[in-house]
Amino acid sequence: MRKVLSIPMIWLLLATAQASAAPWRFVTEDFPPFTYPADTPANTDAGVGAGGPLVEVVQTVCVRLQQDCTITLYPWRRALRLAEQGQADGIFTLVRSPQRQQIFHITRMLVTSHYSVFARDDSTFVFHQPSDMAGRRVGVYGPSGTSYVLSERLKAVPDVDFHLTADNRRLLRMLQSGRFGKEGLAVLNQDVAWHLIEDEHLDGLREAGEMGPITYGIGLSRKTVSETQFMAFEHALDEAIADGTVPSILRRYQLEPAF
């Protein structure tokens, strides 16, 4: 159940957020169609500017709070490390988990997607239930929310050989080239996978079944962002949803809202 704030409290929260002199630093990853490099074709350890629908959502909230914000794209492991250490004030896209909630204030979930199992065209595998993956080598993007959710869902399945790869493009290329074996599999976000398959012209891959829905939100560091500042951020986000701004952004990118 979401908190209902009084008008005086809302103004107090907004005033508190606006009084923050230091810019907030957000980090994200190359995770199209949700986030991607704004002006350069590939990310580097130094980071590049970010674009995409969730970037636009964060920018909208920062404008409403009159809060200066920067958003930089890094490889996910570096982005997560920066945010966990408090060297970044916010991070997205974030999957809600008990571990993440200890480190971050997490907003309401904003977009819904699905996890799907992908296989090579020359494999006859069809996914119906987790036990179907017993004894198989499964590639997954990680360590990430995807690898966390997958490990939870396959806890009781014997002999699954997980292979963590820190880049979704590389993961799909490895599946395509047979690095996981003819009967190897990969589990990815469905939207991301189809975007990359089309963008990278990755022939010979198919979707073998859907594992279930997944939702993503925005995390703000508990080390650098106070509870009051987070409540102000969340209220501004709620307003942007209620007046149609956020739904309009998501519709433009053909994404499914989670709210």
pLDDT at 43: 44
Residues above pLDDT 70, as percent of the chain? 89
Q: What is the predicted pLDDT for the residue at 127?
A: 97
In the predicted model, what is the mean pLDDT of residues 34-40? Answer: 85
CA dist 66 and 48 (Å) reads 23
User: What integer best gives the mean pLDDT of the chain?
Assistant: 90
Across 83-94, average pLDDT: 96
Amino acid at 77: R
pLDDT at residue number 3: 54
Mean pLDDT of 42-64: 85
Determine the 3-state secondary structure of 21 from DSSP.
Answer: coil
What pLDDT, on a 0 to 100 scale, did the predictor assign at position 42? 45
pLDDT of residue 15: 55
How do residues 182-194 score in pLDDT, each as one tens digit?
A: 899 999 999 999 9
pLDDT of residue 10 exceeding 80, the answer is no
Q: Which residue has the higher pLDDT, 136 or 20?
A: 136
- What does the alpha-carbon distance between residue 36 and residue 208 come to, in Å, rounded to a whole number? 26
* Residue 14, pLDDT score: 54
Per-residue pLDDT tens digits for 218-246: 999 999 999 999 999 999 999 999 999 99
- All structural domains of the chain, each given as residue ranges with its CATH number in brackets, are 24-111+216-253 (3.40.190.10), 113-213 (3.40.190.10)
- Categorize the per-residue pLDDT at 53 as very low, low, confident or very high, splitting at 50, 70 and 90: very high
Q: Is 126 exposed, middle or buried (CB count within 10 Å of its CB: 0-12, 13-18, 19+)?
A: exposed
Confidence bin at 7 (pLDDT 50/70/90): very low
Q: Lowest mean pLDDT: which of 38-42, 56-60, 211-215, 243-247?
A: 38-42
Alpha helix segments (H runs only) across the chain:
7-18, 53-65, 76-84, 98-103, 145-153, 168-177, 190-199, 227-242, 245-252
Virtual torsion, Cα 37, 40, 41, 43, nearest 10 deg? -60
Position 209 pLDDT exceeds 90:
yes
Helix (H) or strand (E) holding 221: strand 205-221
